[in-house]
Amino acid sequence: MESFNGRLKSLIAKKKSCLCIGLDMDPKLLNTTKLEKLRDHSRLVIDATIDLAIAFKPNFAFFERWGSAGFSWLEEIVEYIGDDLITIADAKRGDIGNTALQYAHSVFSHFCFDSVTLNPYMGSDSIKPFLDYPGKGVFILCKTSNASSIQFQNLNLNKKLLYEKVVEMALDSNKNKNVGLVVGATAQEELKAIRKLAPELPLLIPGVGAQGGDLFKSVKTGNKNGAALISVSRGISFAGDLSKKAIRQEAKKYVEKMAEVLNG
């Protein structure tokens, strides 16, 4: 079976895109209080962009806040996206081993996601249960896009920064070629450093669009090994007048800008 990282690279090369669409269905941005409206909008976003994107990344917060109805919507979404693209469960999991086993079962066997975001704070045994699923992948938070990420992630520990230790752990965990890192587009200096430390690993790069990270630099640095995913949520899902046409146009703009870098 092809490794997760191999599958990701092949898709990026084939589609000449590194676009990941974040599905963060914020009721405020759709000016609604109805789950049904958000569900329809999530389908519209998928329909508008499925041929342009490499991956879809539903963020669990926007689903689980609706309780059981949100979880069935999440189940539907994974099925609706289908098998041709990569699905990323943005659940930011991380817990002791036997609990992590249940989380891994949930995202991979129950919801059938291809990959998941993980929080490394509890160490390598909290990551391990996710690594044994053939063909599935993980993205470990390394240097996140938010302002407070410096509070812990840039701490200096005996001449190594904490995020550099996370890179080391990720490299050690990548025996099955199924580990990637999350690095914010708002942290270009660290993005360059991480790309150097981990030239082989895929990078999931959120933070362009609403958070103001640099698209060109992110693609250029991140995709040096052909394995970067640039993730945009609000900037695409709620573009313009929220129509399918406006959303598609915005996604196309991103892919065209990416192609400028990808085609050299």
- Which is closer to ligand OMP, CB of 134 or CB of 152? 152
Determine if 202 is a binding residue for ligand OMP (CB under 6 A): no
Dist. CA 37–CA 27, nearest whole Å: 9
Closest CA to 117 of 234, 245, 20, 14: 20
Taking CB under 6 A as the criterion, the residue among 221, 233, 247, 258 binding ligand OMP is 233
In a 13 Å sphere around the CA of 172, the CA atoms on its Cβ side amount to 11
Nearer to ligand OMP, 2 or 181 (CB): 181
145 binds ligand OMP (CB under 6 A): yes
144 near ligand OMP (CB under 6 A)? yes
Collapse the DSSP code of 138 into the 3-class scheme (helix H, G, I; strand E, B; otherwise coil) and give the result.
Answer: strand
Residues whose CB is less than 8 angstroms from the CB of residue 144 and which lie 6 or more positions away in sequence, other chains included:
153, 182, 184, 187
Site string for ligand OMP, 160-199 (x = CB under 6 A): ----------------------x-x---------------
Question: Which of 210, 242, 249, 257 touches ligand OMP by CB under 6 A?
Answer: 210
Q: Does 228 bind ligand OMP (CB under 6 A)?
A: no
- Kindly state the helix (H) or strand (E) to which residue 222 belongs, with its residue range: helix 215-222
Q: Residue 234, interface with ligand OMP (CB under 6 A)? A: yes
CB 216 within 8 A of CB 223: no
Alpha carbon of residue 52 to chain centroid? 16
Helix (H, G, I), strand (E, B) or coil at 205: strand
Amino acid at site 132: D
Looking at the Cβ atoms of 158 and 203, the one nearer to ligand OMP is 203
Element (H, E) at 228: strand 228-232
Residue 252 annotated to the active site: no
Regarding 24 and contact with ligand OMP (CB under 6 A), the answer is yes
When binding is defined by CB under 6 A, the residue of 9, 90, 107, 193 that contacts ligand OMP is: 90
Residues near ligand OMP, by CB under 6 A: 22, 24, 59, 90, 117, 144-145, 182, 184, 206-207, 209-211, 231-235
Catalytic site positions? 92
